Structure 1
Amino acid sequence: MNETIKRELIYVSYYFMVQFRQIFRYWILGMLIGSGVSVFAKNRIHRLFAEMQKKKWGIAGLVPACLLGIASPLCMYGTIPIAASFSEKGMRDDWLASFMMASILLNPQLIIYSTALGTEVLLIRLISCFFCGLTAGVFVHFLSKKRPFFRFDGFRVKESRDTDPNPILRFWKNFGRNIKATGLYFLAGIFLSAVFQRYVPSEQFARLFGDQNEGFGVLMATTVGVPLYACGGGTIPLLQQWLWEGMSVGAASAFMLTGPATKITNLGALKIVLGKGKFILYLIFIMLFSFLTGFIVNKV
């Protein structure tokens, strides 16, 4: 093998192992907690949301709907059938919108992953995702007064895969599925971070996404989040490296919103329940909200 190639592989491997050691414990802890919530608390969370129908909270119900959406461990394809079953029982569309929007953006597993980015970034992610879900619910509240906002035809709650009678075995089987589902993305994110660290000059990156170029940097991060985001765990190493290289916190917060909100699997499900016109409104909403959030974070 060419000596130059060998040297470059050594450099990339070194950066990979440094990043791996920094992130691995957050990934494992996130999956452990995510599996625990999924096996032992998921039904309770969804039961609490269902019980909200008995309350006459009006628009104030958007707050608990957001919080329960964040607490739910399901992905969007798991959340929509649950929302469809709630809709059949008469759940308000604005509450459903807040629940689904918050569930898209955040879950217990991703919260633990995000602690690797530091307390400040974690708090910004929690607050921005909460307000994004809240704002989505407010919009739907005013847009759905005359007719249903969502089209849940064909969506039904799937049978749970956590069926082993032994709760400990249920937990470890769920944990194994989480490793299988996220492991490749996690390693790919670390590898891309290592390549980025080796070959992208930090000065150029800081000029593009840093505080001194805050408006354009936030806009770029908002746009980059659309094609690049594949898995929450896979983007944490990239974000950690980008922030270290000089990315502004506002640009990072914009990426953390547009990324999961425009993840291709999420978009596929949302296109079905929204229809073409409302789906376009959704994309406009998430891009504008992400840009404004990033801009405000940089200013504050």
Structure 2
Amino acid sequence: MTDIVHREAVYLWYYFSVQFEQIFRYWVMGMAMGSLVSVFFKDRIHNMFCHLGEKKLGTAGIVAASLLGIASPLCMYGTIPIAASFSKSGMRDDWLAAFMMSSVLLNPQLILYSAALGAAALTVRIIACFLCGIAAGVLIRLFYKDKPFFRFDSFDEPGNRDTDPNRLIRYLKNLWRNIRATGLYFIMGIALSAIFQRYVPADIVTNLFGDNKAFGVLMAATIGVPLYACGGGTIPLLQVWLYDGMSMGSAAAFMITGPATKITNLGAVKIVLGAGRFALYLGFVMCFSLLAGLVVNVII
């Protein structure tokens, strides 16, 4: 019995160490880039979004808002108070929807994480999240043009924690907060992927998520709801699944529903939408993820 336990531990350590070596550098680069953007470029990005409100861009403003949402380093609980301040200054709801939707799906840090999945998956993730933000903005423009969609009454603009006068110390403090926030999920993700590689046959993944089947896209979108905890933590799992035969469309669906339905994000979204519009949000996320996955499978 002892020999069996020891052998299994050796196997698991092997899978863990190999994947850790493959992904660790992307996690480090993501930490460094995320803190760099947060400390030195966050205000500039948000000021650019504010200036959009001064221009008559129409639908083109939705595209710009989605791009700026991806560039923003804030999580949903940071994005919503910022969006509340934008709303109070007169920013249109369709632009806010595009900004918030793409912001919750992607940020500079997660882009670097996702590079570990390869160029194809990274490209799919960026384009899908960008288009999801645009779609959210367009739908709000079409169906809520003359009435408000968001309720920001309970949110105030957040305090800035990056205030140390020394720029290097300010950066290092932000970096340490990022490490504390994501480090455990990163290790847990690699541990789960090691267990997955050891005990789940590759043909199960191929049958469940591969072969460009619509069912695989639906399953990936569905498991993205309960499984997603942190962007860095799911990269190891996605890497294993893609290697074992997961279709790119299924991966795209997972990468949309996961962050969009992360439990902490849902709590914030529920507050600013209310029950009825919150249901619309969930329906939109599931429908867009399925559509995106099916389209990706046709293209790739």
Alignment TM-score > 0.5, same fold? yes
Within 1, Cα distance between the matches of 2:7 and 2:269? 46
Letter in 2 for 1:183: G
Tell me how large the CA RMSD over aligned residues is. 0.8
Number of the residue aligned with 1:62: 62
Q: How does 1:53-202 map to 2 (within 5 A)?
A: 53-202=53-202
Within 1, Cα distance between the matches of 2:194 and 2:87? 45
Query: Offset of 1:146 from its aligned partner?
Result: 2.6
Number of the residue aligned with 1:34: 34
Within 2, Cα distance between the matches of 1:297 and 1:54? 36
**Equivalent pairs, count:** 299
**Residue ranges of structure 2 left out of the alignment (5+ in a row):** none
Query: Offset of 1:107 from its aligned partner?
Result: 0.1
Number of the residue aligned with 1:217: 216
Q: Deviations over 1:79-122 (max 9, x none)?
A: 00000001001000000000000000000000000000000110
Number of the residue aligned with 2:292: 293
Query: Offset of 1:150 from its aligned partner?
Result: 0.2
Within 2, Cα distance between the matches of 1:89 and 1:234? 36
Query: Offset of 1:53 from its aligned partner?
Result: 1.1
Q: Deviations over 1:15-62 (max 9, x none)?
A: 000000000000000010000000000000000001111101112100
DSSP-derived class of the 1:54 partner: coil
CA contact (8 A) 1:143 1:149 kept: no
DSSP-derived class of the 1:269 partner: helix
Identity of aligned residues (%): 65
Within 1, Cα distance between the matches of 2:61 and 2:129? 17
Structure-1-length-normalised TM-score: 0.98
Within 1, Cα distance between the matches of 2:282 and 2:221? 12
**Residue ranges of structure 1 left out of the alignment (5+ in a row):** none
Q: Does 1:269 align with 2:277?
A: no
Query: Offset of 1:208 from its aligned partner?
Result: 1.1
Q: Does 1:16 align with 2:45?
A: no
Number of the residue aligned with 1:234: 233
Moved more, 8-17 or 141-150: 141-150
Letter in 2 for 1:15: Y
Letter in 1 for 2:111: I
